[in-house]
Structure 1
Amino acid sequence: MSKDLPDLSVLAVAGAEVAVRVTPKAARNRIVAEDGAIRVYTTTVPEDGKANASVTKLLAKAMGVPKSRLELIRGQTSRDKVFRVIG
């Protein structure tokens, strides 16, 4: 696992909801997990769902699941997002 992506495989449980705080237009792509909160930094700009797609990809990689198993259920246009792990 890259130093910019922590091992979040413990969260890859079907039905689990994962809350993240997103910072778009960051200097580099990375995920920081601290104090029970997950912060995702993406270099992508928040337009036309591009940042959401980037966050989904980063989160899936850190969790060790295909990105098709992550569904954005809340926060499509917000910095605070909630993803659900599908079956």
Structure 2
Amino acid sequence: MLEDLGSRYVVFEFKNYSKPITQNEIVTTERYLYPSALRKVAIVISHEDCADSAKAVIAGAMREHGKLIIPPIGTRDNRFAENQRRRLRS
């Protein structure tokens, strides 16, 4: 990761929201990334997917600043989360 992205650290951002992640939350996460501190990668973990505007901010952060933000998959596409819910209910 250091050679490919110039990053030594990964920021994990946990969002416990019931609605899709908006661009404001992604901008807040992007503020934690500092290229000079070798902190250019963030992984966002959430129950919900990102809104289209948030996905545009993620693409712009990579294109303009070289910051990689990996968005959440969301519950609709996440079979692991659904299996965990079933286990907890039984």
**TM-score between the two structures when normalised by the length of structure 1:** 0.29
Greater relative contact order (Cα < 8 A, sep 6+): 1
**TM-score between the two structures when normalised by the length of structure 2:** 0.28
